[in-house]
Amino acid sequence: MSIYHACDIRGIAGQDLSDIAARQIALAVGYKLAGEKVVVGGDVRISTPRLIKIVIDALIESGCQVIDIGTVASPIFYYALKTTAAKGGIMVTASHNPAPYNGFKLVFGDKPVSEEDVQEIARLVEAGTRVSGQGEVKHLPVVEDYLAFTSALSKRQTLKVVIDAGNGATSTIAPRLFKKLGYEVIELNCTPDGDFPNHPPNPALAENLVQLGQKVREAGADLGVAFDGDGDRVGFVDEQGRPVDNDDIMVLLARYYLEQGPGTIIYDAKCSMVAPEEIVKAGGRAVMARAGHTFSKKAFLEEKALFAGEISGHFFFRELGYDDGMFGALKVCEFVAEHRSLAMLIDAIPNYLLTPDIRVADLGYDKTSVLNEVAKKLASYKLNLIDGVRVEFEDGWAMIRASVTEPLFTLRFEAKTPERLHDISGVLLEALPEDIRQAVVSKMPLN
């Protein structure tokens, strides 16, 4: 599988993303940003320091004015881009992927990186394009400034919160931020370790929140928050230790902002029907975006939205102009503090029958060809092609999309009754290649 994805560059460090490939990519970025200010940071993965050095050396050779912010979470990288007025940046991270992976989140100008930008870098690498110059590097610690800035936009609280940093980039940062605002913090997996020894750094999967739920119950905490490897995603458990669907978190955050005034809220194409229904009910305008960090951010900026959310746990905020899992956790905590109980808030949100993400290997298929064939077979139905193929009905929907970071298809189904969930899922399943259909059926929660 190519390391050039829709939103970033990512692969197994030392294999897919070799040192030579990393240097070629950095030289290509240096060609695009020659002579400009470029921010470079990285997460806690074992391969990150080596890749950061390769990146900085190549950018200096390209004539860039490098601002090295060291080991940080991605929200701090975005904060540094904004406050230094840099023209671009490279964050060395593989986000929520397992420990062997690493990659680059790229920024060019003030717009989200596009698929075209990533493919342009791939072409420049293929052509060996580079430029020579005399750049320099400046080391700029920004964590303290980030903490001051972010806490100034947040309210002091006395909630008891368990923070599971997953041994990732927020390990030494998130606890400090919460304590600074008066929270009683219980730390879990808050020692940086790029091997992620306790669980994979992906809080969007309920199995990775089991340890957090147990700790919340043991401590009698008000809620638990978990961050991914680079801190731009967040997941939650309530005071009973139950994982909370991010569809429901989006509803709470939408209410939080819409209580302050009307506006647009962005939700992604994998969200429950409940999200847009509750956004409208709260006085907002609901706009669907394609799932994926840069697609949500593009819609967020174009629509001048109050807030944007994805079920993966990416949350974007107008106050910031970027996504920040730590800030998102603070906003949820503020809403919970005003309404006393996360469990009560979640239980009061209407819910339909919604499957979790069903993730199956692409089995070597060309993913675009599969999606095109599915759309062709289902042409007589109402289709939404904003992100893969989504078949829409009055009382539910079924969706298949290609993962932008892994060799996977992801599917999700929703309906208002068990019978309709069976019927609606069957419509999409019948349009899939036999071996992919069988893989999906074996993972369906209805089995």
**Final residue in a domain of this structure, among 141, 165, 183:** 141
pLDDT, average across residues 411-427: 95
Please check whether residue 422 lies inside any domain of the structure: yes
Residues linked to residue 12 through DSSP beta bridges, in sequence order:
101
Residue 261, C-beta contacts closer than 8 angstroms, at least 6 positions apart = none
SS3 80: helix
Please indicate, yes or no, whether residues 420 and 436 belong to a single structural domain of this protein: yes
Q: What pLDDT does 369 receive?
A: 94
Q: Could you say which of 78, 108, 141 is where a domain stops? A: 141
Number of domains in the chain: 3
Give the dihedral sign, CA 112/366/97/180.
Answer: positive
The mean pLDDT of 149-155, rounded to a whole number, is 97
- Interacting residues of 409 by C-beta distance below 8 A, sequence separation 6+: 359, 360, 361, 362, 367, 370, 400, 401, 402, 403, 436
Is residue 3 in some structural domain? no
Q: Which helix (H) or strand (E) holds 84?
A: helix 74-84
Task: Tell me: do 332 and 371 sit in the same domain.
Answer: no
Q: Are residues 137 and 188 in the same domain?
A: no
Last residue within a domain, chosen from 123, 141, 159? 141
- Find the CATH number of the domain harbouring 182: 3.40.120.10
Q: Is 70 part of a structural domain of the chain?
A: yes
Does 299 lie in the same domain as 269? yes
In a domain, 4, yes or no: no
- 171 as an active site residue: the answer is no
> 193 and 206: one domain?
yes
pLDDT digits (tens, 9 = 90+) for 114-145: 889 999 999 999 999 999 999 999 999 999 99
Average pLDDT over residues 162-172: 98
pLDDT, position 1? 61
pLDDT at residue 405 greater than cutoff 70: no
pTM of the entire structure?
0.93
pLDDT of residue 435: 94
If asked whether residues 190 and 293 sit together in one domain, one would say yes
User: Does 2 map to a domain?
Assistant: no
Whether residue 402 is found in the same domain as residue 376: yes
Rounded Cα gap, residues 109 and 91, in angstroms: 14
Residue 369 lies in a domain: yes
Question: What six digits make up the tokens of 385?
Answer: 């092609």
Contact 235, 209 (CB under 8 A): yes
Q: Same structural domain for residues 189 and 314? A: yes
Note whether residue 258 is domain-resident. Answer: yes
Q: Identify whether 288 is part of a domain.
A: yes
List of residues 6+ apart from 416 with CB closer than 8 A: 352, 353, 395, 396
Domain that holds residue 37: 9-141
Whether 190 and 131 share a structural domain: no
Catalytic residue among 62, 95, 154, 403: 95
pLDDT (mean) for 6-16 = 91
Average pLDDT score over the chain: 95
pLDDT value for 406: 75
